[in-house]
Amino acid sequence: MSQKPPSSRRPNAKPNAAKPRPSKPRKASAQPASDAPKREGDRIAKVLARAGVASRRDAERMIEAGRVSVNGKKLDSPALNVTAKDRITVDGKLIGEPDHERIWLYHKPAGLVTTNRDEKGRETIFDKLPENLPRVMTVGRLDLNSEGLLLLTNDGGLKRKLELPSTGWLRKYRVRINGRPTEDTFAPLRKGIEVDGERFQPMDITLDRQQGANAWVTVGLREGKNREIRRAMEAIGLTVNRLIRVSYGPFQLGQLKQGEVEELRRRVVRDQLGLDGAIPEEKRRKPTRRRK
């Protein structure tokens, strides 16, 4: 008998065993947005604003008008980051070195409008600020008849940060009202009230003293809407005849006289606002103070 050829199968091998499929290479996971490389430098409009050339919005208009060049190349869009190594010119003139973030305390008198220009021709706070103060912006507003602490800054990003309700800073006001209120009078305001379809958050209110036909109260807000205290008091039958802001978060009016301006030290700005890379404290530059 002829012998069968030896089997090429391994001992105990299962016939028709399925071959394992090669595994597909896994796709690399997308890099988290937080780990994405950050663009160096700052937007050109911000740098121009810091250098005192114009506000960010006006700087963007200047760029669109072809008035700004970087390293000899004329810009047509503000979508550009620049660093200290870049050479920036406006109308052919080299701009100065951008300033660091700065904050000033200003005691606003009553009777001034908190705006750069007033369509009715009324005096604004900018008509009364010291002449040697750089270009500044207000953090929030105080209405025409209100007085007290107003923060000024040279940095638009810092301005927006300080104005956000999420910052959670308490703003305190000394308010004189006509009438004889009791603690119960303010119960609706402590709970939160709706005025003309607008919801006001609960207020912290302390009745300080009665002085003749008027009463003094201290009011604390976490966010300030247009004429909020005056409108809220009117809703419960009281009229405000004087309103003074005495603090904005950690910043106090203190003994600052009407019309005076005082710059905060860099260390205070750094500590209170947690600014990265803040420059260490140096001698404070004091603007000329004017009272009018």
- Residues that are catalytic: 143
CB 53 within 8 A of CB 45: no
| Cα–Cα distance measured from residue 239 to residue 117, given in angstroms and rounded to the nearest whole number | 29
Token pair in block for residue 143: 């209405």
Which of these, 185, 250, 176, 243, lies nearest to 214 by C-alpha position? 176
Q: Where are the beta strands (DSSP E) in the chain?
A: 42-43, 68-70, 73-74, 81-82, 88-90, 93-94, 103-108, 137-139, 147-153, 171-178, 193-195, 198-200, 204-211, 214-221, 239-248, 251-252, 261-263
| Cα–Cα distance measured from residue 220 to residue 209, given in angstroms and rounded to the nearest whole number | 17
3-state SS string for 104-139:
EEEEECCCCECCCCCCCCCCEHHHCCCCCCCCCEEE
